[in-house]
Structure 1
Amino acid sequence: MQRVFSLLVDNNPGVLSRISGLFSRRGYSIDSITAGVTADPRFTRITIVSSGDELILSQIEKQVRKLEDIIEIKVLEPSDSVYRELIMVKVKANKSERSEIISVADIFRAKIVDVEKDSLMVELTGTQSKLDAFLNLLGGYDILELARTGITGLNRGMKDVTLIDQDGNVETLTQE
């Protein structure tokens, strides 16, 4: 079983290291992890995808919640959230293969972000299954390099939005 956790944390040095260290010490699995500063530079949003049985996933949530820099942790349910991932793929492409690869990219609404004499670089954002399907169609070509960001996500709508004022007071909107 896989679960997506969205963490809002203080933007302090070492916070990502402390979180990943907790996973390491406890033997928990991290399938993917992404982190980036929010609209408010005091805070970072970290998305962690982890696998395990219900007991392990529940323990992960409880243990992460106890860490000092954690403001909130949410489980992003697939029905109430939007998840995305980014990949960049450099594909070997001679003159005759180039148009075929561009056609596949067009079907997936991918962007060609770099063209060289013997290669193309493609950028694609979407769900894990969309990216996997795209990579499957590129299976007949030589993939020279691949970079994959991991999942990031947010809850839909105004449900469970956390607001923090300048004084650090936290308010969670729980509208449906």
Structure 2
Amino acid sequence: MSVNSRMLALAFALLATSATQAQVYKWVDANGQTHFGNAPSAPEQPVEAVNVRLGYEGTEPDAVTETGSATASGGDGETPKTAQSQKEMCNEAMRWTRIDIPNLKEVAEQRLKDQKITREQYRESTRALDQVDSSITMTDCVTSKGSALERYQCLSRGAGVLVCSGALEGLL
């Protein structure tokens, strides 16, 4: 398991959350404890529907500002079409990563506020996410091969950093 995979596993263990398509509700109990759930609490308690951001919902991918070069004929038999396809896939991987990392940091911050993790665990998880974020680059993506390419393809489908890194494998 690579350093990034181990750091993601740590971040995931600290965050321990799963986003689903179901409605999420938030309420505060009589002791002042904030709760989240997929069903409203008792009818007499006020609840708030929470908007869970699962991913980008738009018609056009964002432009990636980082430059990377994928040559159309780099001597390895790559055609212009496959180079363009890989660049498009990388644009999607970068777009999903720009969504996923901030969402994971937001979850960590909420868990810290709810006293589910310590301040040190929060710092470790955000450091790990920052390191992963800086290691996922357009240049690396367009030049990737083998298992690295598979991870970027996974990211491009919106599966998420934790899933695509293999961080979940050690935890399940």
TM-score by length of 1: 0.24
Structure with greater proportional helix content: 2
TM-score by length of 2: 0.24
Structure with greater proportional strand content: 1
